[in-house]
A and B are shown apart, each in its own frame.
Chain A
Amino acid sequence: DVKVTQSSRYLVKRTGEKVFLECVQDMDHENMFWYRQDPGLGLRLIYFSYDVKMKEKGDIPEGYSVSREKKERFSLILESASTNQTSMYLCASHVSGTPNTEAFFGQGTRLTVV
């Protein structure tokens, strides 16, 4: 059974903290994605990675960075957490070069910044 695993289901962090959200996939996929999900806004792409050490900005990268040191792991970093980053964060992975196939999602990390 294919899996995308996000390290935490729920996180509570303080304003100004550096926050790491971890995502691991076991499908040997080249492409990995971080989305943010907010009510009424759907899923918005923060960053994506086409391969190890490669990254590209998505639609809302401000306040975030990413790291992809190994193929199976894609980390989202909030450099200095703010209350407007309180949200559900979803990681996804996808086989490279196959836009007609399924993207696989993790269960999400609900982050609250206080």
Chain B
Amino acid sequence: AQSVTQLDSQVPVFEEAPVELRCNYSSSVSVYLFWYVQYPNQGLQLLLKYLSGSTLVESINGFEAEFNKSQTSFHLRKPSVHISDTAEYFCAVTRTGGGNKLTFGTGTQLKVEL
């Protein structure tokens, strides 16, 4: 079985400041890693994913996440946030070996303030 831990339930940050949202996972098998974002009153949408290869992955809107196998982490970062980044962010994992069941973390609410 897999599990995902997002230790920070809320992260307030001022606009243009950097931010890091933490994600740690536990699994006895190899996994794919995802970050999903949920904007207010909307469903979830994929932000970025790590499958293999380069441990640093990027999204089109400036977020990046780094896979660290030894620390079993997949932290999400952005060097300069915008008001429009206010949302809830979910880290998720799924087994590489088949089946599409995602295991989600508890989410981190990012609130960007002026």
Contact = CB atoms under 8 A, between A and B. Distances in A.
Interface residues on A, range: 20 to 34
Given A100-B32, A100-B49, A107 B41 contact: yes
A42 B108 CA distance: 9
A111 to B, nearest CB: 15
A96 B99 CA distance: 7
Q: Is the interface of B mostly helix, strand, loop or mixed?
A: loop
A45 to B, nearest CB: 7
Interface of A: 4, 31, 33, 35, 40-45, 48, 58, 90, 92, 94-100, 102-103, 105-108
Given A44-B104, A90-B44, A103-B100, 12 more contacts: A33-B100, A35-B104, A40-B9, A58-B101, A97-B100, A99-B32, A99-B95, A99-B98, A102-B46, A103-B44, A105-B36, A105-B44
